[in-house]
């Protein structure tokens, strides 16, 4: 989210998702588009980050999506991730909203009809919130229970008339002063009026909970003193002469990994080369993927895979994968790299076909005061997403740098302004890496 570009969710993607989810060929239990949007709002507001591999099966009712082919799988998965990223960005930016195309009927009662867009959205939100309710129960302070429950009450109200009537009778019985229900029609109109504020409040509480949990996680790890700093144990000796080798005082004596891998990542076909040098701890390949995407500058909205020693490693639980694909979550970098100078390939976006050569330049001891992952060098900007691969990228550069090129205005409008192919911000790259390391994964 912050410091990371999120691909814009387009009207074309929205239409494609609507048609795909509404297709009679989809298995029973698949959410429709508006249910999906409501569900993703609940997922994006979860106190803990929910991975796509966890929420995508819920979208499809626990069934296989039944894609026609690999191209359709990439298209639909890309659209799903773009929608999720937009929802997450709106939550983080304090601008959570209903989908722009969602029509709210002027007659409040009409929004309770089963096929009404708002009814569908509320159904999706209700299922998402119910799925994650245990997480909220664990972290929500007692003093916020009433405020939180009222927001949930409002956002789920339009999930169905029977559901709404039940709420109405409970509100009348409990005499909720903020709602003051008289007739069911008046009550429904009042709920519709309160809906936008409830949406913002729920999103704010979710985002605040996420930040609070992140801060607690950071606070739980005491800062590591420098080698020449006074030892925190109070001995008046330098840390290196006292508790450094004991693993006491300020926690572990060394970073949690005992090896650091120096990798040079080069985008194949780029001339002059687009590359990054990054130091990473031993980690599972799915985390390494997050680091590679982040340091290069990709958004993570497409499928990826590693090709190492004639084997393929990637994500196998989001709807489509090769039969011979090994689950990247089950393999650490140390399992596939035992010595320096080994090379392997990292593929990103099977449509555009970005290939990265990853050279293991060295395997090092970690520096006591260092924080990993760490980018130490790099050259040139990452190409824009969906530009058409390395060939499309260089055609894009020709057009954007030549005002007389037939596609110049189109490409300038597409990229949204200037694009500097020589730009690389080392400080920003490391800020993004630290954010991803703290979050646990890309927002995708």
Res. 251 pLDDT band, cuts 50 70 90: very low
**Is 230 within 8 Å of 239 (Cβ atoms)?**
yes
**What mean pLDDT is predicted for residues 411-438?**
86
Same topology between domain 11-218 and domain 260-380+424-438: no
Q: How far is CA 161 from CA 36, 111, 156, 158, 253, in A?
A: 20, 9, 11, 7, 61
pLDDT score of 97 more than 80:
yes
How confident is the model over 167-187, as a mean pLDDT?
Answer: 70
Q: What is the pLDDT of residue 115?
A: 92
pTM (2 d.p.): 0.51
Query: CA-to-CA distance for 399 and 407, rounded, in angstroms?
Result: 6
pLDDT for the residue numbered 358: 96
At which residue do the structure tokens 């909970």 appear? 209
Rg (CA), the chain: 25
Per-residue pLDDT band for 322 (boundaries 50, 70, 90) equals: low
Lowest mean pLDDT among 35-39, 275-279, 300-304: 300-304
Does the structure show a pLDDT above 70 at 77? yes
> Is the pLDDT at 257 greater than 60, yes or no?
no
**142-156: pLDDT as tens digits:** 777 888 888 998 999
Q: Which two tokens stand for residue 316?
A: 């196998």
Q: What is the pLDDT of residue 93?
A: 86
106-110, 290-294, 349-353: least confidently modelled range: 349-353
Torsion of CA 227, 232, 233, 234, to 10 degrees: 110
Task: Kindly state which CATH superfamily the domain 260-380+424-438 is placed in.
Answer: MM3350-like (3.10.290.30)
Average pLDDT, the chain: 82
Q: Domains of the chain: which residue ranges?
A: 11-218, 260-380+424-438
Q: For the domain bounded by 11-218, which CATH number is listed?
A: 1.20.120.740
pLDDT digits (tens, 9 = 90+) for 356-401: 999 999 999 888 777 889 999 999 999 999 898 999 999 999 999 9
- Cβ-count burial of 439 within 10 angstroms (0-12 exposed, 13-18 middle, 19+ buried)? middle
pLDDT of 37 reads 94
Among 95-99, 159-163, 226-230, 262-266, the minimum mean pLDDT is found in 226-230
Residue 324 or 177, more confident = 324
Q: How far is CA 317 from CA 57, 62, 63, 67, 322, in A?
A: 8, 11, 12, 14, 11
Q: How far apart are the C-alpha atoms of 402 and 409, rounded to whole Å?
A: 10
What is the arithmetic mean of pLDDT over 153-166? 86
């Amino acid at each position: 989210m912050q410091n990371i570009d999120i691909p814009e969710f387009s009207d074309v993607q929205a239409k494609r998702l609507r048609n795909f989810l509404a297709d009679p060929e989809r298995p029973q239990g698949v959410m429709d588009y508006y249910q999906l949007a409501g569900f993703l709002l609940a997922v994006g507001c979860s106190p803990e980050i929910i991975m796509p591999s966890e929420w995508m099966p819920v979208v499809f009712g626990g069934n296989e999506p039944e894609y026609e082919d690999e191209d359709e799988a990439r298209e639909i998965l890309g659209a799903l991730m773009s929608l999720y990223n937009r929802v997450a960005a709106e939550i983080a930016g304090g601008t959570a909203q209903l989908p722009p195309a969602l029509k709210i009927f002027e007659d409040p009662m009409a929004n309770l009809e089963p096929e009404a867009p708002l009814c569908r959205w509320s159904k999706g939100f209700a299922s998402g919130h119910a799925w994650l309710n245990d997480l909220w129960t664990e972290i929500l302070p007692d003093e916020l229970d009433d405020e939180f429950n009222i927001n949930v009450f409002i956002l789920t109200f339009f999930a169905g008339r029977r559901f709404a009537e039940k709420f109405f009778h409970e509100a009348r019985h409990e005499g909720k002063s903020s709602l003051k229900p008289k007739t069911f029609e008046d009550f429904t109109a009042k709920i519709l009026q309160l809906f936008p504020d409830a949406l913002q409040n729920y999103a704010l509480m979710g985002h605040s909970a996420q930040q609070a949990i992140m801060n607690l996680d950071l606070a739980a790890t005491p800062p590591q003193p420098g080698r020449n700093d006074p030892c925190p144990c109070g001995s008046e000796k330098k840390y290196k002469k006292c508790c450094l080798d004991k693993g006491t005082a300020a926690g572990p004596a060394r970073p949690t990994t005992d090896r650091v891998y120096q990798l040079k990542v080069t985008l194949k076909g780029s001339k002059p080369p687009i590359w990054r040098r990054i130091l990473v701890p031993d980690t599972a390949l799915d985390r390494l993927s997050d680091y590679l995407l982040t340091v290069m500058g990709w958004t993570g909205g497409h499928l990826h895979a590693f090709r190492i020693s004639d084997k393929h490693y990637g994500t196998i639980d989001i709807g489509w994968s090769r039969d011979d694909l090994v689950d990247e979550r089950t393999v650490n970098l140390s399992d596939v790299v035992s010595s320096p100078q080994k090379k392997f390939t990292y593929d990103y976006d099977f449509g555009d076909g970005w290939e990265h050569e990853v050279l293991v330049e060295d395997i090092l001891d970690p520096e006591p005061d260092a924080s990993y992952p760490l980018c130490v060098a790099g050259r040139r900007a990452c190409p824009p997403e969906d530009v058409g691969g390395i060939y499309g990228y260089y055609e894009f550069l020709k057009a954007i740098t030549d005002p007389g090129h037939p596609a110049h205005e189109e490409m300038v409008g597409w990229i949204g302004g200037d694009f500097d192919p020589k730009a690389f911000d080392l400080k920003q790259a490391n800020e993004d890496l630290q954010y991803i390391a703290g979050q646990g994964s890309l927002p995708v």
